[in-house]
Amino acid sequence: MRQRIFAGNWKMNLNINDGVELVNRLKSIHTESLIIVCPPFTMLDAVSKAAKDSKVMVGAQNMHFEEKGAFTGEVSADMLIELGITHVIIGHSERRQYFAETDETVNKKTLYAISKGLIPIICVGESLQQREAGNAPEVVNRQVEAAINGVNTDKLIIAYEPIWAIGTGKTASPKDAGEVITGIRDTLRRLLGDKADDISILYGGSMNGSNVNELMEQKDIDGGLIGSASLSYEKFIQLF
């Protein structure tokens, strides 16, 4: 069943005390939405312990597609699971842009996460140049198809995040975002059949309290992958 989900990607921000305090405040919120927080690796243990036995889920911002090995600086699925992590962001635009993430590695990470019982939050999105050329739907749907190649489950989340709207304060119009996300839903149906109707699709790209209602009115948008607004309790709860 599709869920209304708001996932906070804290990126390289906050510290352990800030993260724990934020989660402790979020635990008291009464909402039908699923709340996920994705802290930096250094605070996953503390935040996961703070969120234990609450409705707040904890995700990681990345993982490797191998079980173990000589991969300096990387973290495995088993390491995340050991900390009580339930979700993992895969293929974020910043990972693709700065750390050579490709459609191939996104697919490997997706398959491995699912095999381990982690729920991947798979990020897809176009650049400004691709959007201006009118290629956004083609680019995004190609990324979706590549990411879930070999997948046969609804235990995943898709996040549409136009690259040009990440951390810029710009956002796609609700109509444009809705059209792209409906295209993603159609692609999922083609590839996964009825399972597609149980997959939540989030919008990521400067979603905040001033635009959340219009975005959420779009029939195929189920929530948001939230950046800067998730670092503040007061701003984050405006979305639920």
Active site residues: 92, 161
- Tokens 């549409």: give the residue: 160
- Tokens (6 digits) for 199: 């997959």
Q: Which two tokens stand for residue 16?
A: 């352990």
Tell me which amino acid residue 179 is: E
Nearest to 75 by CA among 135, 21, 118: 118
Strands (E), the chain: 5-9, 34-38, 56-60, 87-90, 119-124, 157-160, 200-203, 223-226
Q: Are 114 and 153 a contacting pair, CB within 8 Å?
A: yes
Among 139, 129, 122, residue whose Cα is nearest residue 202: 122
Which residues fall within 8 angstroms of residue 113, CB to CB, at 6 or more apart?
A: 63, 77, 88, 90, 119, 120
